[in-house]
Structure 1
Amino acid sequence: MSTANIKTVVEEMIDSFLDENGYELVDVEYVKEGSNWFLRVFVDKEGGIDIEDCGRISEVLSIKLDENDPIKDAYFLEVSSPGAERPLKKPDEVRKAVGKHVFITTYEPINKLKEFEGTLLSFDGETVVVEIGSKQHEIPYAKVAGARLAIIF
């Protein structure tokens, strides 16, 4: 099974449990590091996620993975918070980040820049507006290569 298919199957397995318990699925990764495979599930909830939440989700997911056995390779399962610099992979996540400090990269230069770090002013589904200093940058969402929350130092 391809990495993309594994990601989709795992999302489908755990999605209803997460929804029913107030969790949000942020991302699923299935990656090889060295000689080991890792299945990483990143979850969040209002107020943040703690170690007990991660353990509970890991236990439920482990049972579902054992029952369905979609991954033939040996792997390590990790369930964790996406962290303070969580990725913004879906349009709804970008909308929720309005007013927060973000870091955005683009596939091609916009206003001669490919990296934008500043306050996310708005997102209408098609255009992301980021304020850097006193200048506003309008970025077509289709040209966003990556976005995440950013910590201000």
Structure 2
Amino acid sequence: MGYELICVEYRQGDPQRVRLYIDGPDGIGLEDCERVSRQVVGILDVHDPVPGEYVLEVSSPGDDRPLVKPQHFMRFKGERIRVRTLAPIARRRNFTGQLVEVAPESIVLNVDGEQVNLRFDELEMARLAPQLDTAGPRRGSKR
């Protein structure tokens, strides 16, 4: 349909959830999500890969978009990201830092001035971690 499938998440529960993150050259709007949802629900209903009832969600990747493919990491080199590893590395599983290098099998993060090398096969999850702008007036604050 001309969209990139960023990733698929499946969560068991009541109800089960199937979440698709999609992207496009001009970004993703509500109409894009609705269009993909109509197509995918038809395919899921015919092939029935999810037993029982489920909720299908189609979404843009958002500001904290998941990074799944090596191309995603290349696209966002220099950005701040958050990763969780499958097993502890140096007694920790969660790392947040600037993505400074992307190689075919690994990435390098600058975490508080220290270089951390992580292989793709060690990663459980990776997402952009944009810094929120905390400057400026807040709702309900007095001036």
Q: Is the TM value for this pair above 0.5?
A: yes
Greater fraction helix: 1
What corresponds to 1:30 in structure 2? 10
Describe the SS at the equivalent of 2:12.
strand
1:93-112 equivalence runs, <5 A: 93-106=72-85, 107-110=87-90
By how many angstroms is 1:122 displaced?
A: 1.0
Partner of 1:11: none
Q: Which residue matches 1:123?
A: 102
Number of residue pairs the alignment of both structures matches: 131
Cα RMSD for the two superposed structures? 2.1
Which protein has the larger Cα radius of gyration, Structure 1 or Structure 2?
Answer: 2
Partner of 1:140: 119
Match status 1:45 vs 2:24: yes
Residues 60-69 or 72-81, more deviating: 60-69
1:152 paired with 2:143, answer: no
User: TM-score scaled by structure 1?
Assistant: 0.73
Task: Report the counterpart of residue 71 of structure 2 in structure 1.
Answer: 92
Partner Cα separation in structure 2 for residue 105 and residue 49 of structure 1: 26
Residues 58 and 79 in structure 1, CA contact (< 8 A), matched pair in contact too: yes
- Identity %, equivalent residues: 34
Distance across 1 between alignment mates of 2:70 and 2:57: 25
Name segments (4+ residues, structure 1) moved above 3 Å. Answer: 66-72
Q: For 2:82 and 2:74, how far apart are their aligned partners in 1?
A: 14
Superimposed CA distance per residue, residues 10-67 of structure 1 (whole angstroms, 9 cap, x where no aligned partner): xxxxxxx3xxx1x11112223233x212222111123421101001111111222333
Query: Take 2:94 and 2:32, find their aligned partners in 1: how far apart are those partners?
Result: 34
2:44 matches 1:65? yes
5+ residue gaps, structure 2: 133-143
Unmatched segments (≥5 aa) in structure 1: 1-16
Residues 108 and 143 in structure 1, CA contact (< 8 A), matched pair in contact too:
no
**Matched residue type, 1:24:** E
**TM-score scaled by length of structure 2:** 0.77
